[in-house]
Homo-oligomer: A and B are copies of this chain.
Amino acid sequence: MPVHYSKLRGYKGEIYPVNPGAAQVQGLRAWPSISAIGKPVDCAVIAVPAAQAVAAVEDAARGRVPLAVVFTAGFAEVSEPGRLLQEEMLRVARAGGVRLLGPNSMGAFDLASGFIATFSSAFEHRGGAGWPALGAVSVASQSGAVGVDILVRLRERGVGLAKWVATGNQCDLDLADCIEFLAVDDQTRVLVVYAEGCRDGARFARALDAAAAANKPVLMLKAGTTEAGALAVASHTATLAAPDELFAALLERHGALRAHSLSELSDLAAACVPGIRPSAPRIGLVSISGGVGALMADEAAARGLEIPPMPESGERRMRELVPFAATRNPIDCAAPAMADMALLARFVEIALEEGGYPALACFLSHLGHVDRNFDELRGRLAAIRRRFPERVIVLAILAPPERCALLEADGFLVFDDPARAVAAIAALWQMAAARARVRSVTGDVPRLEAYRGPAISGATDEAAARAVLEAIGIPVVPAQLATSAAQAARAAERFGGAVALKVVSPDVPHKTESGGVLLGVAAASAAQRYDDMIERVGAAHPAARLSGVLVSPMVEGGVETFIGAKVDPALGAFVAFGIGGVFIEAYRDLAWRPAPLGRGEALAMIRSIRGFTLLDGARGREGADLEAIADAIARLSVFVARHAAELESIDINPFVVLARGALALDALVVPRAR
């Protein structure tokens, strides 16, 4: 198939079929082996049975071929012997200086040069006219089948393609490599990526940064966002699905945009092709139906877009056209405009002239099916499009596909559903905002001294965890370790007022459930409570090592927050912030960011959670000390990034934030298992 397709597409380079059993293949001289060709070869396409694949790669190495595309399946994706065979192939390739795409890859193609190294049957559609148009969108997919599906989907909606690659088992080249390549590829202006996982967060981030630097949107669909999906992914490509909240944080930080379905992915790709992005999150809505105007306003508001009212001058001009039109925004040009294309176009034009909206969504309902009006409608709209080249203009219209294509050729984004039209504008704005965010990352990352706290590998009880936080510079509530009832009583007296008692043990993770936590203990009863606690926890966990009991003063008031850190073996180090205490489980209201980060980004993180209203001093509450939280998050982020190899996670819960200052009341450090 690659020989046939490449010939068909007029590939200008030499094609050397390799087949020891044939003198000719498809009219071309065939060669018994790659190394027998004796001329420089750029790429070997390997489509032999699994048992012969390693030998074929060896042959490529002998022929000094720098790249082999391996279609052959039956490796790590099917069995343990397959995995070993794949390792062997990689070893042979590395030794011979051959980079591998695959195995189990559906290959790659480049429409412009006619290099079609894939065996997808999609080009056979429509009696062999199934080729996508040449365009600016390139596709990189871990799964060949998904990649082909995306290709057909884009073709059917008239989006032109540049390059396409399926990475398969990724034993060598992976998605990050493909993204990095496409980021500097002249023909590619939009990247569409399907991922099942990520083996190296740092490399992936670098690739995304390269695309951002080239101002190329990266649109990403990822499977395994739920537990059920992650299980399916694991059985599909043996990929360990990355924890979705971490993957999402990585994409957000590095400016990629997430799609959640194949149709949303192709919507977004189509929206990105013209290369226009709104300069602000403001939308104008013009509709020939007041009802749909309201539906679009709902969608815009739900997606965080502003719907600024028309200036009075614009409203006046519109009312002169149709006295009973709704002229505020959404603009309802009402029934007359459905029959009078000149009138309809005037509304659109006035909305752009007077409203100044960087993005406009027009609902035209079934006008695409009205034969007597369509050509006039198209002509008038095209003239407006030319007058405002920098605005995003999206048409929501029901029309036969060929008319949609005409409108797209005129420079409009075209959708059949008004909600999807508005969603596309919201996505374009998100993309613009993400780019601005990537550029505005500030340098206010705390400079931490070299760590001099306790050994991280041993920081498994609360006393050690407290010492770690103190060494990082995160404020911790005072505490004294009592190893006897008398010590507990003395500590309580010293603190004055009520105290908290907490058992210290590396073997009791859920202290509250085991009776290992007592709050509001009066100093007078501290000794008795110490004895009770040791007995109770000892009974619940007979084998647990008990180092004693921490005695701390009670902290009154403040808001309980959560600061956490997690190191994913593949994705890297991340920090989290949210409202703490028991509410964490119920609402999962956590913001995640890759570590390290500066205080400015930490502040943005704090402001991004739904529960921020509990910290911002509204409704007569005292505002919480946001700087204190931001400093703690940033410090923790620097620490985990630096010690990622030694750490699995750190939880500070609660981190109590007061009007001035903040205090960790409890912490858990989980070192990485060796």
Instruction: List residues of chain A with CB under 8 Å of any chain B CB.
Output: 73-74, 77-79, 121-122, 124-127, 130, 141-143, 145-146, 148-149, 152-153, 156, 194, 196, 221, 223-233, 235-237, 260-263, 288-295, 297-302, 307, 323-324, 326, 328, 330, 332, 335, 338-339, 365-366, 369-371, 398, 416-420, 510, 512-514, 579, 582-583, 585-587, 589, 610-614, 618-621
Contact = CB atoms under 8 A, between A and B. Distances in A.
A142 B291 contact: yes
Nearest to A417: B263
A398 B263 contact: no
Given A301-B228, A417-B261, A582-B614, A130 B294 contact: no
Contacts of A237: 290-291
12 contacts: A124-B370, A127-B371, A146-B292, A223-B291, A226-B302, A230-B294, A232-B293, A232-B330, A237-B291, A261-B418, A586-B613, A587-B611
A149 B262 contact: no
A5 B477 CA distance: 81
Contacts of A589: 586-587
Contacts of A263: 416-417, 419-420
A369 B126 CA distance: 7
Nearest to A371: B127
Nearest to A265: B417
A420 B261 contact: yes
A279 to B, nearest CB: 21
Contacts of A236: 290-291, 293-294, 326, 332
Given A289-B149, A291-B146, A262 B231 contact: no
A159 to B, nearest CB: 14
A603 to B, nearest CB: 18
A579 B586 contact: yes
Given A121-B339, A226-B301, A263-B419, 6 more contacts: A143-B290, A145-B288, A146-B289, A146-B292, A229-B294, A582-B614
B610 A398 contact: no
A235 B620 contact: no
Nearest to A369: B125
B582 A621 contact: yes
A324 B78 contact: yes
Nearest to A244: B298
Task: Pick the most buried of A231, A236, A298, A330: most chain B CB atoms within 10 A of its CB.
Answer: A298
B124 A295 contact: no
A592 to B, nearest CB: 18
Contact of A335 (B145, B292, B514): B145
B366 A152 contact: yes
B369 A224 contact: no
A585 B619 contact: yes
B297 A232 contact: yes
A295 B127 contact: no
Given A143-B289, A370-B124, A611-B587, A365 B297 contact: no
A385 B44 CA distance: 45
* Most-contacted residue by chain B among A194, A229, A232 (CB, 10 A): A232
B145 A365 contact: yes
A339 B512 CA distance: 59
A620 B510 contact: yes
Contacts of A326: 232, 235-236
Contact of A398 (B152, B221, B292, B510): B152
A662 to B, nearest CB: 18
A416 B371 CA distance: 27
Contacts of A618: 585
A199 to B, nearest CB: 17
A203 B640 CA distance: 61
A301 B229 contact: yes
A271 to B, nearest CB: 16
Contacts of A298: 223-226, 228-229
B149 A398 contact: yes
A374 B551 CA distance: 75
Given A152-B365, A236-B332, A420-B261, A295 B229 contact: yes
A587 B587 CA distance: 8
Contacts of A125: 366, 369-371
Contacts of A235: 290, 326, 328, 332
Contacts of A229: 294-295, 297-298, 301
Contacts of A295: 221, 223, 229, 261-262
Nearest to A196: B291
Contacts of A338: 121, 145
A263 B299 CA distance: 13
Given A149-B366, A292-B145, A231 B586 contact: no
Nearest to A611: B586
A366 B416 CA distance: 21
Please list the 9 inter-chain residue pairs (A to B) with the smallest Cβ-Cβ separation, ordered nearest first. A513-B620, A236-B290, A145-B289, A229-B298, A143-B291, A223-B294, A261-B419, A232-B294, A226-B301
A505 to B, nearest CB: 16
Given A419-B263, A579-B586, A614-B583, A324 B74 contact: yes
Contacts of A230: 294
Contacts of A233: 290-291, 294
Interface centre among A365, A366, A370, A416 (most CB of B within 10 A): A366
A621 B74 CA distance: 51
Contact of A232 (B77, B152, B225, B290): B290
A102 to B, nearest CB: 13
A558 to B, nearest CB: 12
Nearest to A511: B620
A293 B126 CA distance: 27
Given A237-B290, A294-B233, A130 B369 contact: yes
A296 B636 CA distance: 37
Nearest to A513: B620
Contacts of A127: 371
A470 B556 CA distance: 33
Contacts of A371: 124-125, 127
Contacts of A610: 586-587
A411 B652 CA distance: 56
